[in-house]
Amino acid sequence: MTYKVKDIKLAPQGKRAIEWVERHMPVLAAVRKEFARTEPFKGLTVGAALHVEAKTAALARTLTASGAEVAITSCNPLSTKDDVAAALAKDGINVYAWRGETTREYYSNLNRVLDHKPDILIDDGADLIFLTHTKRTELLKSIRGASEETTTGVNRLRRMASEGALKFPVIAVNDSPAKRLFDNRFGTAESTLQAIMGITNTLVAGKDVVVVGYGFVGRGIASRVRGLGAIVTVVETDPIKALEAVMDGFRVARMNDAARVGDIFITATGNINAIRGEHIRRMKDGAILCNAGHFNVEIDIEGLARLATKRREVLEDVEEFQLRDGRRIHLLAEGRLVNLAGRRSLGHPMEIMDMSFALQALSVEYLARHRGELENWVYDVPPEIDRRVAELKLKSIGVELERPTWEQIRYMKSWRMGT
């Protein structure tokens, strides 16, 4: 076992954090109990690039309890919790991650994971998968497949698959209803707002909040921030999503107009330069900018820096850019995904990651069991896995499902019955 972490002495603190979340992740616990019996990963190595925080540690420990050798690094240079990384190392897991990795260190750590010659990958953003297709192609033959956690990664992989460039099967955990509807919507909303408020101590009620992008993440944020009393404007390029935002009761505007009114801007587009110089020039003094998307590309930070005459950290995770006329623009967590990249950001709530990581665990078990049966393509999570996770979740919170009668089952199956 090898590791590279910031400070191994932080392990006891990380262990407490892991124990706390594990007590609140009953779905993953049920999967772990089953896997401890069936040992689906016996003799296999799982390589993972995930946000190294307590809930991810619960997933890693589930995999090792199921017979896997696990090697893990972070999928973002700022999201690692050093105490958790230390606790994983103490627990015998190969971990290479620390908060504040340089780009070079980030890629070295991805390579360190790949040095373990993984049979299966778990990725968040597709950087690990991408590396196997570019610089570590010697591994392609032995990799049974991968699962991908996030929208950005899945989009990237679908583009690879459609060009015939994908060389092993991938399961798009992100796209499963049990992930998208809850993790992307409620999880990101709560964790993003928790992070913004935790970093800035700002009041949200009565503020003008601009949500850029109205996919599942944007929808969740817009709805929750309205619940806190904000006046919400949505910016969207897609006509259907824009119309949905209108009918959900939000003001929809172009970025140039929204730029003038916003107190807080939250990007969730998955695209590059959603907020750029021309918008920043119109912003109010004191505007707060942050990003909820996977990569730090949504806010044009270089453009912002070019407009500024002075740049300094005014508070932990808050950088102030002073424009020529004295207006100050505040950027949170270096424009990286704010719900994980802030020093005290926690990521999604435990109950949400319980489902997302149970989906991950069951999806990689599916890959292990179906070796050689799948094409080099991006697959949806098998519906029975989705259903199982939802059922386990309902059970864990004591909610019972109504059972259809035989008459109802027959009715739904028949096309002869009309009135």
Among 18, 21, 48, 51, binds ligand ADE (CB under 6 A): 51
| Distance in angstroms (rounded) separating the CA atoms of residues 56 and 93 | 12
Among 331, 353, 364, 392, binds ligand ADE (CB under 6 A): 353
* Minimum CB distance to ligand ADE, residue 65 (Å): 19
Complex with ligand ADE: residue 128 or 340, whichever CB lies closer: 340
Q: Which stretch binds ligand ADE (CB under 6 A): 53-61, 85-93, 96-104, 407-415?
A: 53-61
Among 32, 55, 90, 179, binds ligand ADE (CB under 6 A): 55
Interaction between residue 347 and ligand ADE (CB under 6 A): yes
Structure tokens at 84: 């958790």
* Minimum CB distance to ligand ADE, residue 159 (Å): 20
183-222 binders of ligand ADE (CB under 6 A): 191
The dihedral sign for the CA sequence 10, 11, 16, 19:
positive
397 burial (CB, 10 Å; 0-12 / 13-18 / 19+) is exposed
1-40 binders of ligand ADE (CB under 6 A): none
Count of residues of this chain found to bind ligand ADE when the rule CB under 6 A is applied:
14
* Minimum CB distance to ligand ADE, residue 21 (Å): 10
* Minimum CB distance to ligand ADE, residue 17 (Å): 12
Which stretches of 5-93 are assigned E, i.e. beta strand?
45-49, 69-73
Interaction between residue 50 and ligand ADE (CB under 6 A): yes
Angstrom CA distances, 324 to 244, 262, 301, 304, stand at 39, 20, 16, 12
Complex with ligand ADE: residue 233 or 360, whichever CB lies closer: 360
| Distance in angstroms (rounded) separating the CA atoms of residues 34 and 189 | 32
| Distance in angstroms (rounded) separating the CA atoms of residues 348 and 339 | 7
- 96: which residues sit within 8 A by CB, 6+ positions away? 3, 4, 5, 71, 72, 73, 108, 109, 112, 113
* Minimum CB distance to ligand ADE, residue 407 (Å): 43
- Packing angle between helix 26-38 and helix 54-65, nearest 10 degrees? 20
Contacts to ligand ADE by CB under 6 A: 50-51, 53, 55-56, 124, 149-150, 191, 339-340, 347-348, 353
